[in-house]
Copies of this chain bind each other. A is one copy, B any other.
Amino acid sequence: MPFLRNAWYIAALSKEIEGTALIGRTLLGEGVLIYRLRSGECVALRDRCPHRFAPLHMGTRVDDDVVCPYHALRFDPSGRCVHNPHGNQKIPAAAKVHRYRTVERYGLLWIWMGEPERADDSKIVDCSRLEIGHPNGVAYGYMRFDANYKLIVENILDLSHADHVHGLIISTRGELSKLIPKMHAEDRYVTARWDWKQTPAQQVVASFLPNPEAEARQFAEVHWHAPSNMLVTVGATQSADPKDVLQTWDYHFMTPETESSTHYFFASRRTANWIEEDAQYNQLKVTAMLQAFEREDGPLISAIQKEMGSSDFWSLNPVLLSSDPAPVRARRALEKLINEEASAGQASQPGT
């Protein structure tokens, strides 16, 4: 199944694109060169010289341009060749590389791999929560993972796995599993929400509540936005006052590298009442999120990927449980969007 191309994906965390570094990263099966101009603006170019196909990220940076490592064609940030040291130095008309539309927003570099004229940055999902509050209350992370991105989307969209895969720190001790989540879905997004009470609250939040041992009202809401941008909001409170709610916003962004590997970016923000200014706690939380995925979800998802092989998901006749309507709806919605794009001939790949 092809990738949805007319969509915004994350290419990199802002903090990854530092100094004069030339970053080569495969996105949707396509080599992309990412770097930051002296002005601070980010650039994403097709990472393949049009002459002999050498990856430009192996080349050198000269001012805001990049010089091919093989025969030294020099490309400016628009992707235009601006210098050819060979022969009469005339620049062939075809000597250019595609520049992808990008937007740097919320500490993330967003990239549009589809038809440039359809790129509309007002369609970038709202992650403004990341920018509200003390700088110590936000954190970013990245890992590369060997599995199809849809398996990770479904893992997050069905939080009912948390009680069974993860340890005591985030387990609801079975409370969440019992619920039938409320779902809301549109063409390009799906939301699932769980509300419950437990005594005491999840360990991760209990000690920050007024009465750590007492009952708390909790909720978790997962929002999927096609193709693979997600927000998980979780909260807990023992008060009737909304401002007392302890809450986190965890953003998960899955960008396909290939059919069977994924760039997994995440970003997290806490409310002010949840030791927002504690940078050490912040670091601990990001490390814990990384480790939970790598040690707990990750090995399972890898094993599932291996078991599925190249089989179509539906051909394996999956049994559906009470938390499956949301992930199933998201998978169907994504398949529909991809099919529409394919049949409209919109899947043209300008970068290749």
Contact = CB atoms under 8 A, between A and B. Distances in A.
Nearest to A308: B53
A307 interface: yes
B165 A70 contact: yes
Contacts of A243: none
Contacts of A160: 71, 86
B322 A86 contact: yes
Contacts of A177: 71-72, 85-87
Given A70-B164, A72-B164, A87 B322 contact: yes
Interface of A: 31, 48, 50-55, 58, 68-73, 84-89, 92, 94-95, 154, 158, 160-161, 163-165, 174, 177-180, 299-300, 303-304, 307-308, 316-323
A85 B160 CA distance: 9
B52 A87 contact: no
Contacts of A158: 71
Contact of A322 (B48, B88, B307, B318): B88
Nearest to A180: B87
A304 to B, nearest CB: 5
Given A92-B320, A94-B319, 4 more contacts: A52-B318, A68-B164, A87-B177, A92-B319
Contacts of A299: 58
A53 B318 contact: yes
A323 B52 contact: no
Contacts of A316: 53
A307 B85 contact: no
A72 B87 CA distance: 62
Contact of A51 (B53, B68, B180, B321): B321
Contacts of A163: 72, 85
B69 A164 contact: yes
A134 B81 CA distance: 49
A50 B317 contact: yes
Contacts of A174: 85
A85 B31 CA distance: 44
17 contacts: A50-B317, A51-B319, A53-B316, A54-B300, A54-B303, A55-B303, A69-B164, A70-B164, A70-B165, A71-B158, A71-B164, A85-B174, A87-B179, A87-B180, A87-B323, A94-B319, A95-B319
B85 A300 contact: no
Contacts of A94: 317, 319
Contact of A87 (B58, B71, B86, B178): B178
Nearest to A50: B319
Contacts of A161: 70-71
A165 B69 contact: yes
A168 to B, nearest CB: 15
A307 B48 contact: yes
A320 B58 CA distance: 20
A115 B68 CA distance: 43
Nearest to A311: B53
Nearest to A96: B319
Contacts of A165: 69-70
Nearest to A322: B87
The 8 closest A-B pairs by CB, nearest first: A87-B322, A72-B164, A50-B319, A87-B180, A86-B322, A85-B177, A86-B321, A94-B319
